[in-house]
Structure 1
């Protein structure tokens, strides 16, 4: 059967997919231990750098630990980052939260929040302290 030229021009190939970090994901799927990247550490402290830029693999599982020292009431925001991941859970004081969406997280006192997620959407995403101006008050998360 001959395909008309205009239909052949419309044919597209499937987009390139990023591979998970391991071949045998097993029963746990993308949450398997072999599919976990290095933890990401962020520090919320008055006048201190937030953290370092990171590169993540799409399809891999990560944990982000956000620790506030209580020196000021501080938050982080990163709407494009939070929309580029699938959030598994946020753990605060041993309480597990499974949110549908997150826009920001604010700390009134010292403490740690642990986010676990799957990186999904490739691109550069900024996480920053709202209202801050300095480059050290934000990080770029590059998802490949």
Structure 2
């Protein structure tokens, strides 16, 4: 009896004080696709891997909504062998797929992607865990060699 009462009290507190993830569109419009619905998609985030160039050209931090669907497009120009890493961010999202040369990969976990030559990779995901995270080029510390993503 005591355990049941405690569990109910904790559940009531959790529901009362928790902000729910708000998709980008009305929940009634999500339909069969759920969170992957077209109306729940944020703007694509475009990153460039090139020697001596900034990783991201837009305003930082990039703000993401928890529960919304996004795509990161990473394009390498082949000027140098470069990678991008950010395991904390990659653990704070649900990865739908990574597409490389029309090959779709549905990974359980990813720490980084490395480009040995020119090419593009697209990561599609749903933002989950609120916080501030960085994607960066390993071994670099400059502000232009990272992008900060905030999941709200």
> Shared fold (TM-score greater than 0.5)?
yes
1:46 paired residue number = 51
Q: Does 1:22 align with 2:21?
A: no
CA–CA separation in structure 1 for the residues paired with 2:71 and 2:14: 33
Could you tell me which of 32, 56, 69 is aligned with 1:61?
A: 69
1:114 paired residue number = 122
Number of aligned positions between the proteins: 140
Unaligned runs of 5+ in 1: 1-6
Once the two structures are overlaid, the 10-residue window that deviates more, 44-53 or 7-16, is: 7-16
CA–CA separation in structure 2 for the residues paired with 1:104 and 1:9: 42
3-state secondary structure, aligned to 1:80: helix
CA–CA separation in structure 2 for the residues paired with 1:13 and 1:62: 28
User: How far has the Cα of 1:12 moved from its partner?
Assistant: 1.8
3-state secondary structure, aligned to 2:51: coil
CA–CA separation in structure 2 for the residues paired with 1:117 and 1:134: 26
TM-score, normalisation: structure 1:
0.92
User: How far has the Cα of 1:83 moved from its partner?
Assistant: 0.2
User: How far has the Cα of 1:9 moved from its partner?
Assistant: 8.3
Q: Does 1:92 align with 2:95?
A: no
2:3 paired residue number = none
CA–CA separation in structure 1 for the residues paired with 2:33 and 2:87: 28
Following superposition, which runs of at least 4 residues in structure 1 exceed 3 angstroms of deviation? 7-11
CA–CA separation in structure 2 for the residues paired with 1:121 and 1:25: 21
Unaligned runs of 5+ in 2: 1-5
Choose between structure 1 and 2: higher helix proportion. 2
Per-residue CA shift, 1:14-48, capped at 9, x if unaligned? 21112101111000000000000000000000011
CA–CA separation in structure 1 for the residues paired with 2:43 and 2:64: 9
